Each structure stands twice: as C-alpha cells, then as structure tokens.
Amino acid sequence: MAARPRGKADLGAFRLEEAPIPEIEAGEMLLRTLWLSLDPYMRGRMSDAPSYAAPVQIGAVMTGGTVARVERSRNDAYQVGDLVVAMSGWQEYAVSYGSDVVKLPAGLPRPSYALGVMGMPGVTAYIGLLDVGQPRAGETVVAAAATGAVGSVVGQIAKIQGCRVIGIAGSAEKCAWAVGQLGFDACVDHHGAALTESLAAVCPAGIDVYFENVGGKVFDAVLPLLNVHARIPVCGLISLYGEAGKPAGDSAQAFMRTVLVKRLAVRGFIVSDSYAARSAQILRQIGTWLQQGRINYREDIVRGLENAPRAFLGLLEGRNFGKLVVEVSGAQP
Amino acid sequence: MAARPRGKADLGAFRLEEAPIPEIEAGEMLLRTLWLSLDPYMRGRMSDAPSYAAPVQIGAVMTGGTVARVERSRNDAYQVGDLVVAMSGWQEYAVSYGSDVVKLPAGLPRPSYALGVMGMPGVTAYIGLLDVGQPRAGETVVAAAATGAVGSVVGQIAKIQGCRVIGIAGSAEKCAWAVGQLGFDACVDHHGAALTESLAAVCPAGIDVYFENVGGKVFDAVLPLLNVHARIPVCGLISLYGEAGKPAGDSAQAFMRTVLVKRLAVRGFIVSDSYAARSAQILRQIGTWLQQGRINYREDIVRGLENAPRAFLGLLEGRNFGKLVVEVSGAQP
C-alpha cells in the first residue's frame, strides 16, 4: 500500500515492488502464492479509522487471504508441495511459521474455493444467516450483493431452509444468474428506479431477514419493508467504504424509532470472532451441499498479481461477477 | 383525548368530560378506578404515525393501565370488591367483560405496585435486561432514566446479576437516590456538560449493556463508550416522543458502521409480545426480590384524575421522581 486513500480509493494507493525471495530459518517455511482473495473488508484495512482490526501500514504489503504452496520447509508439520490457506497478503512469496496457516480442506473442486464458498466468505454467510438471521421456513430473506461471494451463499442456504429468497444485485445479467443458477425466487437490480417499490412487488409478505453487506440506498430501500421482529445481520457496508464524510440519509434516532416500533434485531458480526471454533464443522456442511449440487458457486478470476489493484477497485464498485480471486501462480503445477 | 398533538403535547390535547355511570349487562362488570398508571408509551398512542398499537381516537378515553375495584358484577368469575388490573384508561368507571382484566398478584405492599415494579414496567425491565441485554457478572450496565419505573428495576436486577451499574438521571437528587437507595455504583446527571466524559469517568471498562429508554443526546453520549459485543435493548425513546420532524444527530448509516465495527446487538422489544406467557413467573421472582429488600421502589403519586394531563406532560419532561401513578379513588375503602 503506497498511500492511505481518503474517500474513494484509486490506483495511486498501491505500488508494485520487487524484492529478493526471502531465506527461511529453523521452524519457518517459504510459501508461494497460488491464489489471492480480494474482499471488500480490505478497504477497511486501508483506513486508519478505528475498526476491529489494525490498519495496513503505508509501505507494507496489503493484507489478504491466499492459497499457497510450500516451496521450502524447515517446519516439521509441513512438506514441500503442501497446499495451505494463509493470510500472506498481496505478494508472490511469503515466510510462514506454520501456526499462521491451515491445510486446505479436503475435497475442494478447485483450491481457490478455499478463499470463497469453502472458506471465510462461506462461513461468514452461514454464521450470519443462521446464527444472527435465524430464518424460519416460509419467511422472506433478502440478500444484497446477491451474486457476490457471501450473498450468493446466504441466498442458497436460505433456500435450503425453505425460505423465499430475494436478491439485490447490480445488473440484469447478475439478477438472471441469481434466479437461474442460484435458485433465488427473484432478484432486483439496484440501478433501477424505485427500488423500494420493485422490492415490495417481489416481497408481498414483507421482509423477515435482511442480510446487510451493502448499506446506503439499498438499506434505505429495504427498511420500510421490514416486518415486525425482522432481523438484520450486519456483515458489511460496501457502499460506505469509499465515503470520507458522514453518510447522508435518515438519522440514527429515526432508525432507532423503527427498531423499537418493529422490534427489529440488528446485530453486527465478524466471522473471525467464531471462525476458529466453528469453521471446520461449517465447511463440512457447505462441502456436502456443494457435492449435492444444492449450492452453486461462481468465481471471477483475474490473472497476475499486477492486476490486483484494478480488480480490487472494481470490486468496490460491484464490477466483479462472482467471487473475485487473483491467480498469482495458480497455473503452476 | 381532545386533539392529536403535533410535536410537543400540551394541556389542549386533553378534555375532562362527565357522563353517567354505565349500566352493565349479563357477563359484564362495573369497575371503579382506584389507581391509574401514567407511562411514556401513552405519547405514542396519541399519534397516528404507524406504530405497534392502534392510536387513541380523538374524543375517545385515553388508554392506560389501572388498578380497579369491581363495584357491580354480572360476571361469575368476579365478585364485588375484587381488585383487578385493567386497561380501562383515564376514567373513574369502566365496563369490563372480565377477559380483559387479571386479578391482582398476591402479596403486594400496595395495590398500585401492580402498575409498576409488580406489573408491566417491572416485567419490561426484567425481559429487556435479561433476555435482550444478557448481562454477565462483572460487566458494566448503563440504565437511562435510572429512577424511573423501568430504569430503576433494570439497574437493581443488574446489581443482582453482579454487574457494575451506572445510572443516568435528570437531577442531582435523583442521582443521589439511585446510588443511595437503589445501590447503583454511580449515576450521572444528563443536564451536566460533557455527558460522554462524565460517563467515561465512571465506566472505566466501557459499557457492555445500554438499556435504552431515552434516545437523543443520552444515546449519542453512550455510543462512543460501547464495548465490542455490547448489547442495546431498545425499550423506549422518550426524548423523541415530542418531536414532530426528523431528529438530528448522526445518520443511520454511521450508526450501522458502529454496529458492524463493534459487533453491536441492537434489539427493540415490546413487553406485550411476551407478557401473557411469562409475566406470572417473572412477577413471582420480582416479588421475592422485593420481600428480600433486594429491590427498592419509589412511587410519585398524583391525586385526582383531573391532574393526570399535567402529570403526564411532566413525565415526558422527566419531572416525575419514581413511578408516576394517579390516585383516582385510591383512598376509598
């Protein structure tokens, strides 16, 4: 990261640097990045505003989850050729102590799935929808960013629970895919006019669970349609991530009035709070659903680490279509 | 109710009317009001904005909980002289079918307690604090309106749970009473300057549960002090009840950002959602705590139905000190 963006991030926030491949010492291993995950939370790490994790320092390697191969090892727990999931960031090689990686889950259709449906985003969708959202069969669930890494899994798990599932996405093509390939009951393009009215038309019984990872105008459109006792798992607010000032819209007090009148349950959650304790079991369940064809998954693959900044900026504007991953040296044997 | 107030309510919203005492038919009984409860929620019933209950119609009797005595009965379940809790409103006599009243709980120090600590406000405090707030021993709980009917019980139950309890109240006298008579660890006057700083000084470990029944500047002052994973039971927003327009302050989106970063749990609740199923058991527990001297209780008694409007307007401005009840014919044998 070359500079801390104020407001909307641009390419000037990043710099490509070359350095020698590091030597390893006893207990360490050298990782070669095969796949890099690009996720909205990274915009938060670029800011030094108070948050739940420390910011990336200027001049430091951008943070990020990876699938990597052990190239050299002086660590007894890992052999050359092992594939691991690491938080080794936007770089081709990294040194690991072993304790900061996990082996890839078994039975992955592709290694990069460990960065999406079979990794942090999949577990995020599962915990946020089921623990926080607590959907019951027959209820209406709305998933924003419906074709994204998290939203697509939220919607499909909600279908498995017997819910009516409505997506919100950023193009007619994405909406068609959410309905045709993910099995959503309907999907509304948020670029269209009268978003509340469009949503109301496909949510005749109101909204019982709104899985929030967008914020802004989508939140505003959903709010009037929430039913009494509706639940809002707050996973992310991508529409706000580029905003420097105070966002506009309704006041917090007006929102609290709605919370009271409708007895809403609003809960923010971060998957890392419970990832260690629960991910293994949840990934087994998601893996089963994938094998059974009950969860469909789409990746948006960018080739070459040098293209990560542009792809990441596109992610913040919804230009990706599916889980965004960078093939750093994924084609290598 | 003579007129629907816009913004701040005044005496013009009410009118005193005389009418003959109604006759009763088979299955009915005539109630004589001994005590009338005055509660903040009544301001909501005066408004026709969408809410969780229907508004009082203009020209109709103001809604309200009462303790009443059966004066005449053609209902087999009730005898003349029985005391009941009713929702018979701001009037001296009312007709009941019996199904809309409950007998007074046993062992009340005074009948009017059934309108406060041993009634709806007590159950509200219990459910909101324990079910929604889920305080753990050693955590810091902040109760706004600390000497009010609900806040005073919230704080004392939180002390029984082993929490550090901080009150917020509207005068030095109220604060002294919260600490001296209710056992709060500290209490801050919200009329003082720098409310956040004053609160921070008595909440060195931050705030884990904020029981919200005030809103406005108190909410704004508490927000920066909330800990990660803090919980906000939203019971009421009395500071907003008189406001006609959109309240000022932070935007809902900025608040949602805090919900996300701090993983807050915010939940609105209305005691009537669970009152029927749970109140008997909860009132037994509160009754035990009262007998043991672990819960202290203070009433602010106004005499005469004609004084209810002025007392109610004072309640909205925090001029009461303790649970506000009107002795309508309480001195009668």
A63-75 pLDDT, tens per residue? 999 999 999 999 9
**pLDDT for A105 beyond 90:** no
The C-alpha atoms of residue A242 and residue A32 are separated, in whole angstroms, by: 31
**pLDDT for A248 beyond 70:** no
Nearest to A254 among B246, B270, B273 (CB): B246
Q: Is B247 in contact with A251 (Cβ distance < 8 A)?
A: yes
Which residues of B fall within a CB distance of 8 Å from A269? 263
Residue of B nearest to A215 (CA): B253
**pLDDT at site A330:** 66
Q: With CA atoms as reference, report the closest residue to A191 among A25, A285, A319, A32.
A: A319
**pLDDT for B330 beyond 70:** no
**pLDDT at site B333:** 45
Average pLDDT, chain B: 93
Architecture, CATH, for domain B11-110+299-327: Alpha-Beta Complex (3.90)
The C-alpha atoms of residue B144 and residue B202 are separated, in whole angstroms, by: 14
Interface test with A, best of B124, B134, B226, B256 (most A CBs within 10 A): B256
**pLDDT for B237 beyond 80:** yes
Work out whether the CA dihedral A104, A110, A111, A116 comes out positive or negative.
negative
8 A C-beta contact, residue B302 and residue B326: yes
Dump pLDDT digits (tens) for A193-208: 899 999 999 999 999 9
**pLDDT for B233 beyond 70:** yes
The nearest CA of chain A is from the CA of B266 a distance in Å of 5
The nearest CA of chain B is from the CA of A154 a distance in Å of 18
- Percent of chain B at pLDDT > 70 equals 97
Region A267-271 average pLDDT = 91
8 A C-beta contact, residue B211 and residue B148: no
Highest mean pLDDT of the ranges A7-11, A73-77, A100-104: A73-77
Specify the residue for token string 């139905």. Answer: B305
Region B76-81 average pLDDT = 95
**pLDDT for A240 beyond 90:** no
pLDDT band at A333 (very low <50, low <70, confident <90, very high): very low
Q: What b/e sequence results for B155-185 when a residue is b if at least 16 CB atoms lie within 10 Å of its CB, and e otherwise?
A: bbbbbebebbbbbbbbeeebbebbbeebbbb
Residue B220 sits at the vertex; the CA angle it makes with A207 and A208, to the nearest 5 degrees, is 10
Q: How many CB atoms lie within 10 A of CB A195?
A: 18
Query: Between A and B, how many CB-CB pairs are < 8 A?
Result: 130
Region B224-228 average pLDDT = 93
Residue of A nearest to B271 (CA): A263
Dump pLDDT digits (tens) for B151-181: 999 999 999 999 999 999 999 999 999 999 9
Q: Which residue has better confidence, A240 or A196? A: A196
The C-alpha atoms of residue A261 and residue B50 are separated, in whole angstroms, by: 8
Tokens of A285: 């369940």
Q: With CA atoms as reference, report the closest residue to B265 among A237, A268, A264, A135.
A: A268
**Helix/strand number for chain A, H first, E second:** 9, 13
Nearest to A259 among B248, B253, B266 (CB): B266
Q: In what helix (H) or strand (E) does residue B165 lie, and over which residues does it extend?
A: strand B164-169
The nearest CA of chain B is from the CA of A67 a distance in Å of 27
Nearest to B248 among A251, A259, A262 (CB): A251
The nearest CA of chain B is from the CA of A112 a distance in Å of 27
The C-alpha atoms of residue A3 and residue A23 are separated, in whole angstroms, by: 28
The nearest CA of chain A is from the CA of B3 a distance in Å of 23
Q: What are phi and psi of B140, to 5 degrees?
A: -100, 125
**pLDDT for A139 beyond 90:** yes
Extents of the domains making up chain B: 11-110+299-327, 120-271
**pLDDT for B234 beyond 90:** yes
Region A162-182 average pLDDT = 97
**pLDDT at site B245:** 57
Residue B90 DSSP one-character state = S
Average pLDDT, chain A: 93
Region A148-164 average pLDDT = 97
Residue of A nearest to B239 (CA): A253
**pLDDT for A289 beyond 60:** yes
Choice among A89-93, A266-270, B271-275 with the minimum mean pLDDT: B271-275
Which residues fall within 8 angstroms of residue A194, CB to CB, at 6 or more apart?
none
**pLDDT for B242 beyond 80:** no
Which residues fall within 8 angstroms of residue A150, CB to CB, at 6 or more apart?
A121, A124, A125, A128, A211, A213, A235, A236
What topology does CATH give the domain A120-271?
Answer: Rossmann fold (3.40.50)
Region A307-318 average pLDDT = 95
**What does pTM read for this prediction?**
0.90
Q: Is A256 in contact with B52 (Cβ distance < 8 A)?
A: no
- Percent of chain A at pLDDT > 90 equals 79
Task: Name the 3-class secondary structure at B35.
Answer: strand
Q: Which residue has better confidence, B243 or A106? A: A106
Residue of B nearest to A265 (CA): B267
Region A54-59 average pLDDT = 93
- Intrachain domains A11-116+297-327 and A120-271 with the same fold: no
DSSP letters, A231-291, are EEEE---GGGTT--S---SSBHHHHHHHHHHTT-EEEE--GGGTHHHHHHHHHHHHHHHHH
Q: Is A256 in contact with B228 (Cβ distance < 8 A)?
A: no
Q: Is B251 in contact with A253 (Cβ distance < 8 A)?
A: no
Q: Which CATH superfamily is domain A11-116+297-327 in?
A: Medium-chain alcohol dehydrogenases, catalytic domain (3.90.180.10)
**pLDDT for B88 beyond 50:** yes
Q: Is B267 in contact with A264 (Cβ distance < 8 A)?
A: yes
Q: With CA atoms as reference, report the closest residue to B126 among B25, B274, B315, B322.
A: B274
What residues of chain B have any CB closer than 8 angstroms to a CB in chain A?
Answer: 50-52, 212, 215-216, 219, 228, 234-237, 240, 246-257, 259-270, 273
